[in-house]
Amino acid sequence: MTENLQRYHRQMLLPGFGKAGQRRLIDSSVLLLGCGALGSVAADLLARAGVGHLIIADRDCIELSNLQRQVLFDERDVEQAVPKAVAAQRRLRRINSQVRVSAVVDDINHTNIARYAAGADVIVDGLDNFEGRYLANDLAVSQGLAYLYGAAIGATGMAFSVLPHTAGKTPWETHADGNLATPCLRCLFPELPAPGASPTCDTAGVISAAVGIVANYQVAEALKVLTGNLDRVNRTLLEFDLWWNEIVQLDVNRAYAEADCPCCKQRDFAYLDGKAAANATSLCGRDAVQLRHRQHDTDIDLPALGRRLRAHGPVSANEFVLRASIQDNGGQYEITLFPNGRAIVKGTGDAAVARSIYARYVGT
């Protein structure tokens, strides 16, 4: 065994893994969408397993309430207002220097997801909203990438491994055991949930154990795909409730045959094409709106803007992010602004109010 594989000895003992699987893992690339609860657990495990290139994309900064379940971060990250992707990158480099970690501090949307996914073999879902998941699903189906969906809320979790139907070109469609392709996410969930129809971590809470189970499951499935063990990928939809001691695996394979899926059958990639994209997004579990309609050709001078905003309340700014507390018409808001003009306005779930606060204090 060569020296650079010694740290992976225990997982290489697994039948079907071995040195060949480890070398495939080292040569692989994973796009991790979101580095919050699910994403931070998945990133830690993937880096320790020896994924060659881990691309971590997250739009947000670390808050104190994140630390209950987001395992890569600590109180110093909160104090320094470090973006999650950057904090994760710093931590993972100390865990495994053999892994190349790329930090993407950006909102993933239809204009950039293909660029960030270039060269990736697998997409791991650490997202907190269905619009983002439909976007990832569109990309996975259009490009023939494995997409590992996961979600956790309260004490419940759900996960599913998408090996999309394409045109018979993927390894799972040409496998010796036959076509191993699965339904895609939109086969299972054809439409976005109606506003207010689904609980969030703000209304239902979340326990870290549920997060850990989903993320560990996603990573196990990713390792199967990346090491070539496609016949071991679970083709059922996993659901569990830790509080009520319920675990079920649902056979959903007929969903592809029985549904006229707009994505994998009609090849209508409305989210990837931008036809279904939203300019303002309410953030899961937070009284906040993200605005991404303002994009600048050159980066904003965050420290300079911070000096102007200090007249309105406490401000902190560094090269990555500006955070300002604003009192406006009896309301208390917090603006988190990134260099490209993307902003999160906390203190309202109303997109119109968020846009108004942005216009008055950042500019149009």
CA gap 360, 334 in Å, rounded: 13
Per the CB < 8 A criterion, the answer to whether 120 and 145 are in contact is yes
Q: Is the dihedral of CA 293, 84, 99, 69 positive or negative?
A: negative
CA gap 205, 317 in Å, rounded: 30
CA gap 149, 162 in Å, rounded: 7
Confirm whether 261 is a catalytic residue: no
Catalytic residue among 35, 61, 187, 201: 201
Angle subtended at Cα 114 by Cα 40 and Cα 274, rounded to the nearest 5 degrees: 105
Q: Is the dihedral of CA 244, 249, 251, 256 positive or negative?
A: positive
Neighbour order of strands in the sheet with 331-337: 280-282, 288-291, 343-346, 331-337, 322-328, 315-317
In Å, the largest CA–CA distance within the chain is 67
Of the candidates 94, 32, 41, the one whose C-alpha atom is nearest the C-alpha of residue 59 is: 32
Which residue(s) pair with 124 in the sheet?
32, 148
Query: Which residues are catalytic, by number?
Result: 201
